[in-house]
Amino acid sequence: MAASLVACTPLVDPKIEKPEEMISTGVLASFQNFLRKCLVAVLSYGPMPKHIAFIMDGNRRYAKFRSIKEGAGHRVGYTALMANLMYCYEMGVKYITVYAFSIDNFKRDPSEVQSLMGLMEEKINELLENANVINKANCKINFWGNLDMLCEPVRLAAQKLMASTAGNTGLVFSVCMPYNSTYEIVNAVNGICAERKEMLHKGHAGNDASNGVDSEITVADLDRHMYSAGCPDPDIVIRTSGETRLSNFLLWQTTFSHLQNPDPLWPEFSFRHLAWAILQYQRAYPYLERNRKLAKVQPWSHVLCKDTPKEL
């Protein structure tokens, strides 16, 4: 009897939603979009950040806690990244920077590094082939770091994506990989030295030994040679998973940034966490602005405030 009942039961694909479920899902999604727009409108009455930087921490722990493959955590993390990218765009945030891969990450297990490189290549090519997100936000994508350290397929894909979005004038999305702040600063100093050397060479060729070349390196000189040249410093730096370290990320640019360390792991970071982060920034905004102004008027501001183009 049981067998006959089972046999007569229609086979239903659990992946196919029933019409009433599709309607309820659509209504719920519309209601969520409405609430999100309302909250964005409320937030916009306060000072909004121009630049948010993310340290996307917790992908591996996410996979471990849910007993899924380690690489799956990074895939869910990529989905969270795309979602938060669009949330920031809706909020009017112009610049987004993420710490995707540290130079120090090359010290990890070779199989893990290879897996991450494969994922990067896959997702970069995915953005090249399906440019919905890029087109919607008119997004310009930068890669900050030593691209020569990447395997050739990833490096070529990154360069192709940068070239294809170079003319876009909307959201500026900067991906730091492989990157650390120490390398960025050293690279900037080397760039200045090469620039001065070339100027001196031209001066000697023109029989003018000095040619107006200044021997001092200023803060403004370093700013010009940073990967972040042309971008404002981050207003907010968010490191997920509750960690409080910057891990050699944007050390030059974060003197007056509001540092936050919410508990959710990166794949769990959602719109409500982002909205709360902006509210926290708005609460701290008067304090941050006061510190910026004080740094500019102090007698030692040429050391503390890199916005003042004086000698180091």
Candidates 243, 127, 207; CA nearest to 175 is 127
Instruction: List beta partners, residue 96.
Output: 52, 173
Strands annotated E in the chain: 51-55, 95-99, 140-144, 172-176, 236-239, 258-260
Greatest Cα pair distance, the chain, in angstroms, is: 105
**Residues 6 or more apart in contact with residue 49 via CB below 8 angstroms:** 93, 234, 235, 236, 278, 281
Note whether 74 and 118 are within 8 A (CB): no
Note whether 239 and 261 are within 8 A (CB): yes
Separation between Cα atoms, residue 196 and residue 213, nearest integer Å: 7
Cβ neighbourhood burial of 233 (10 Å; 0-12, 13-18, 19+): buried
**Residues 6 or more apart in contact with residue 169 via CB below 8 angstroms:** 138, 140
Candidates 101, 96, 98; CA nearest to 116 is 101
Separation between Cα atoms, residue 203 and residue 224, nearest integer Å: 22
Catalytic residue list contains 57:
yes
Q: Please, how many CA atoms are within 13 Å of residue 68, restricted to the half-sphere of its CB?
A: 12
- The catalytically annotated residue of 13, 57, 235, 307 is 57
Q: Output DSSP code: residue 101.
A: -
Active-site residues, by number, are 57
